[in-house]
Amino acid sequence: MKKKIKTNVRYFTRLRENQNLTIKELSQKTGISQSTLSNIENDKVIPRLRTLLK
């Protein structure tokens, strides 16, 4: 399960980067704090589905 989560985190980061968004810009667009986004990308927290759907 942990490997699958890491793969999804990389996918999340690639999606952001493909849109040429910084974490700050994504934070402004979604209302998710920069620290939360950073923690997701650094695999420090597992985001809730509701968070990912923003």
One-character DSSP codes across the chain = -HHHHHHHHHHHHHHHHHTT--HHHHHHHH---HHHHHHHHTTSSPPPHHHHT-
Q: Check pLDDT > 70 for residue 31.
A: yes
Domains of the chain: 2-52 (1.10.260)
Kindly state the average pLDDT of the residues 3-17: 74
Six token digits for residue 25: 């810009």
Six token digits for residue 46: 């597992």
- pTM higher than 0.95: no
pLDDT score, position 50: 77
pLDDT band for position 48 (cuts 50, 70, 90): confident
